[in-house]
Structure 1
Amino acid sequence: MALTRRMFTLGIFALPGCTAISSLNEAAQPRDTFALQPINIAAEGRRSARSLLVLEPTASAAIDTDRILIRRDPLSVTYLPDARWADGAPQMLQSILVQSLAATGRIGFVGVQGAGPIPDTVLLTRIDDFGVDRQADGLFVVRIACELTLLRDRDQRVIDTRRFAQSGNVSDDAASTIAQGFQTQLDALLSDAVPWVLMRAI
């Protein structure tokens, strides 16, 4: 009885270790890495000397990761097992916004916190959706949604706020197919968002 009790106790203490080792093994598995790209919009109009600060977007814990989110149903969140983003979704979107806005050539300086001059305008972003839904009919839908808010830096007055959202079907849940689906929807979203920001930040 004493031996049985001792083995049972050792088994309990061993469980967390086994879980940790399993997690480490999973983290060590190589994953295909995908990096979404900015867009290059030929924006007409004069160049402004103003500066724009793009803060890191906020997002829920499920989105704030470098894993590619898949929802099999409204209550469950999983991730593609063999694929990841090159950076966490908020950091990746921040970089894409900076590059897309700077590429227009309309703003004197576009950057992140800690770099460049004191900003005239600050761009806040809240990511509401950045994942894939599996539909009842077996189709997969890529969804991207975010809310952009522009502030005047000197008095923190809100200049304007708008929600942007795009979605579209992809044929399967292969990582490369899903990554291309994200790029397609992101291109469409940025095509609306970048001119909107320019009109209010210049």
Structure 2
Amino acid sequence: MDVVKLSRRSLLAGVAASLSGCGALASLNAASATLDTYDLTPVPGSTAGRRTRRTLVVARPSGPAGILTDRIMVKPTPSAITFLPDARWPDELPAVLQSLLIRSISGTGRLGYVGTAEGGPVPDLALLTRIDAFQVEIEGETLVARMAMQLTLLRDNDQRVLANRSFTTSVPSPGDAPAEIVGAFQAGLNVLLPQMADWVASV
């Protein structure tokens, strides 16, 4: 039997099982304590370039209701939403991405401070992130990790928009195991996070 077809079939079987067992996001979150947890790794941008003492606050990203959870979202069709039955992120996805952005931008060493609004200095800049996609999609017989985010950089004192940019990528997963799917997300972030960090540090 074709390996990719088997992967797609087994993923859909797992998705169906998860749908039959959970009726709401609240139920999913309650059950998530028993699931395997998968984390993602920050990837700093370039340390070369202009350095400033400017301070940056990274706001918690916003996004559709389906991704405001610690579950790994699957879209078997454009209009259907479910979740991987055996895996979760270590926190709600917006918090995970906020931490990744902070550590990736800070890793460039090109800004004086990068962090959250709690406990930090008065910020010069604020970074807003809208998550448009962060999910597994099924394209033909292939599982694909798709990510799309819109970043907006503001001057904090008057909320003036300084710049905005969209970042997108899609990475095929080699199989249907959670570790392989998370690896596809990480491969995409290995490209996106340095791009995002360099863009923010250069504005």
Q: Measure, in 2, the Cα distance between the counterparts of 1:78 and 1:142.
A: 14
Question: How high is the TM-score relative to the length of structure 1?
Answer: 0.83
Q: What value does the CA root-mean-square deviation take over the aligned residues? A: 1.8
Match runs of 1:19-98 below 5 Å: 23=27, 27=31, 30-98=34-102
The partner residue of 2:142 within 139, 142, 161 is: 139
Q: Does 1:175 align with 2:178?
A: yes
Which whole-Å deviations, capped at 9, do the CAs of 1:104-152 have from their partners, x for residues lacking one? 11111001012211100000000000001012x3210110100000000
How far apart are 1:40 and its partner, in Å?
2.8
Q: Measure, in 1, the Cα distance between the counterparts of 2:59 and 2:171.
A: 27
**For the structure 1 residues 104 and 140, does the alpha-carbon distance in structure 2 shift closer, same or farther, using more than 3 Å as the test?**
same
Residue aligning to 1:148: 151
How far apart are 1:181 and its partner, in Å?
0.4
Q: Does 1:128 align with 2:132?
A: yes
**For the structure 1 residues 180 and 148, does the alpha-carbon distance in structure 2 shift closer, same or farther, using more than 3 Å as the test?**
same
**For the structure 1 residues 38 and 29, does the alpha-carbon distance in structure 2 shift closer, same or farther, using more than 3 Å as the test?**
closer
Residue aligning to 2:115: 111
Structure 2 unaligned spans of 5+: 1-22
How far apart are 1:96 and its partner, in Å?
0.4
Q: Measure, in 1, the Cα distance between the counterparts of 2:181 and 2:91.
A: 16
Do the aligned partners of 2:42 and 2:103 also contact (CA within 8 Å) in 1? Answer: yes
| Structure 2 counterpart of 1:150, one-letter code | L
Do the aligned partners of 2:150 and 2:165 also contact (CA within 8 Å) in 1? Answer: yes
Sequence identity (%): 45
How far apart are 1:192 and its partner, in Å?
1.4
Q: Measure, in 1, the Cα distance between the counterparts of 2:130 and 2:198.
A: 18
Q: Secondary structure at the match of 2:76?
A: strand
Which whole-Å deviations, capped at 9, do the CAs of 1:16-61 have from their partners, x for residues lacking one? xxx89xx59x717621101101013342134311100000000111
Pick which of 185-194 and 28-37 moved more: 28-37
| Structure 1 counterpart of 2:156, one-letter code | D
Structure 1 unaligned spans of 5+: 1-18
Residue aligning to 2:5: none
| Structure 1 counterpart of 2:158, one-letter code | D
Which whole-Å deviations, capped at 9, do the CAs of 1:53-85 have from their partners, x for residues lacking one? 000000111011100011111111110111000
Aligned length: 178
Question: How high is the TM-score relative to the length of structure 2?
Answer: 0.83
The partner residue of 1:157 within 141, 157, 160 is: 160
Moved >4 Å (runs of 4+): none
**For the structure 1 residues 157 and 133, does the alpha-carbon distance in structure 2 shift closer, same or farther, using more than 3 Å as the test?**
same
Structure label with greater radius of gyration? 1
Q: Secondary structure at the match of 2:127?
A: strand
